[in-house]
Amino acid sequence: MSRNRKLTRAARALTDRAGGVTYAQARATVLEHATAAIAARHGERIAVRIALGATEDEAADQVEAIQGIAAEHGTCYDAAEEWFDAPENQVMCETCGWVWAMVCPECPKGCACDDTGCTGWRHRDFAVAYDHDDEQDAGYYEVDCPDCGGSFDSRTGYGCACH
């Protein structure tokens, strides 16, 4: 059921219960109560994040990020929060933004910051999974060398170690 339909039904129910209240007044009252409930729920969510150890600003940013995840994936806040808090989804490197689920066993730091001696195979796997379609379509992550997995494309930074 759409939110507009719910709002209409709630406003009509209020006009039926309260004699002399116009539909416009009832609709404004219902919207005011809904807005207050949303604000209260937002405040509760921030309080939960603060209880988990975040500062007030960090908590507000985290709640906003969780709401963005929920909207992007079409899921509820609780499911998005569970994903957000999962250890494998925590950022391991602030420089490159890799999360723990993306650890590269060949890199000294485990992330994309230092690829000394790394063939880059893991980087490409996660780049395809996490990056934008336009980079994939442009062939940015193509693997050219069948032996080492390195790319002959200088844009990737993971050159062929064999040739």
| Same domain? 78 vs 143 | no
| Same domain? 74 vs 63 | yes
What pLDDT is recorded for position 116?
66
What pLDDT is recorded for position 65?
92
Q: Is the pLDDT of residue 132 over 50?
A: no
Q: Is 99 helix (H, G, I), strand (E, B) or coil?
A: strand
| Same domain? 104 vs 126 | yes
| Same domain? 12 vs 70 | yes
How confident is the model over 42-56, as a mean pLDDT?
91
| Same domain? 118 vs 158 | yes
- Structural Rg of the chain based on CA atoms: 25
Q: 80-109: per-residue pLDDT in tens? A: 999 999 998 888 888 877 888 888 877 777
How confident is the model over 128-143, as a mean pLDDT?
51
| Same domain? 78 vs 106 | no
| Same domain? 42 vs 102 | no
How confident is the model over 123-151, as a mean pLDDT?
55
- The runs of H, that is alpha helices, within 52-155 are 56-73, 77-85, 121-130, 133-137
